[in-house]
Each structure stands twice: as structure tokens, then as C-alpha cells.
Amino acid sequence: MKIDIISVVPDLLQSPFAHSIMKRAKDKGLLEVNVINLREYTTYARAQVDDYQFGGGAGMVMMVEPLVNAIESLQKKTTYDEIIFLTPDGETFNQKTANHLSLKKNLLLICGHYKGIDQRVRDHFITKEISIGDYVLSGGELAAAVLVDAIGRLIPGVLNDETSALTDSFQDNLLAPPVYTRPEEFRGWKVPEILLSGNHAKIDQWRQEQAHKRTQEKRPDLLEE
């Protein structure tokens, strides 16, 4: 999968994909992430990419021309399955959307800043608008990093143990059950006996029950869906 990201702060997106699972995905050739600096696509003086909003009011707006230049230039090389704008007024990102997007070949993510982007870009180019939660970030970069991480780890072959994504929280609308590792006892706190039993059918059943219990306690809304 290839993910291109248009940003005015490309430095913000250097580190998130350089470690751990994202690095492994890139090293295995399963995920390519390119960060494109929007300022390289502006024809305005001093690499300007934003301007005052028509009608007045506080806050700058990202201009239509640099964004369209960047998008159209990228489209000459790549046909995108989705062009996604990260914005607090988009649909809320969840595991279902991550699963869906992990099956795509080419994605283009657009990070907003200031008051947002000129509506004409949204009207004519954006195919999906995504928010990572009901709060406002200072830009779309951290949201884009969240998307790439959540999507990237689902690409077949990225995780070593292919089954581990299936038992994550939110797959099946359930939270993940509790997990334990060595030692078996610490300060008198014991690991549940069942996990040491070697009886895998019983262990699976226990995990299912715990997942239901945890979801009921913490996120009953998931069980209603």
C-alpha cells in the first residue's frame, strides 16, 4: 500500500513511521509513506499557502491553488482509491474504517491547518473526511499519523503473528481481555489459574467471557451496536 500525505509541517511526520511496526512494514515493502510539502506547490511569494477568509473573521484558510496543484501533480503518477481530508468535522475514525482502508492500494491524506481548507478543495477533490475524535488538534498531521498506524498494522504480512490483529480491542465490537506475563506471582498477586492450565479451549472461553465483561463494564455502547 502507498500512502501520500500533503502537509505544511512535513517534519511532524518523520518520526511516527520510523519505528517499530511501521518501520517493519516499510522495510518489508508492504507500506510506502511519502510526505509532500505543500509549500513546494505554491506560486505565491514567500511560499504562502494560507490567506484571510472571505467575509471576515479570525483565522487563516489554506488556499485552493497550492492544494489543487499538489493533488493534481500527485494524481499524474498515482490513481488514489480515496483522497482523505483530516478534519474535526469528518466521520469519526474507528476500527471498521481502519479495516476497510487497509484493503486499499493508494491513499492520499490531506492535513489541514489554521481554520481549515478552502471549501472548493473539499467539494471537488476530497472523497472522505475523517476525524480522530471530538477535539480540535492544531493540525491534521497527528491525526494522519494515527490513521497510517492503525491502517498500516492491518496490512496482511505486517504483523508477525497474523492472528494478533483479530484479537485486538474493537474487532468484533469487543474490548480485548486482560493479559499477563511472567512472573506467575508478584507481591502475592497471582495470574488467573486458568491461563496456566494449558487447556486452550478453556482459555479461549475465559478470554471470551472476560472480553464481554470488560466491554459491558467500560463500553456497553459497543454491545448495543
Distance from the Cα of residue 39 to its chain's centroid:
24
**Residue 86 · residue 132 · CB < 8 Å:** yes
Q: Is 157 in the site for ligand ADE (CB under 6 A)?
A: no
Part in contact with ligand ADE (CB under 6 A); list of ranges 17-25, 42-50, 137-145, 184-192: 137-145
User: Checking DSSP bridges between strand 185-186 and strand 189-190, what pairing results, if any?
Assistant: antiparallel
Q: How far is the CB of 144 from ligand ADE (least distance, A)?
A: 8
Between 26 and 115, name the residue whose CB sits nearer to ligand ADE.
115
User: In whole angstroms, what is the distance from residue 75 CA to residue 105 CA?
Assistant: 14
Is residue 86 a contact residue for ligand ADE (CB under 6 A)? yes
Q: Does 110 bind ligand ADE (CB under 6 A)?
A: no
Report the nearest approach of ligand ADE to the CB of residue 155 (Å). 22
**What residue type is assigned to position 15 of the chain?**
S
Phi-psi bin for 169: left (phi > 0), alpha (psi -120 to 50), beta? beta
**88 near ligand ADE, rule: CB under 6 A:** yes
Binding site for ligand ADE (CB under 6 A): 86-88, 112, 131-133, 135-137, 140, 143
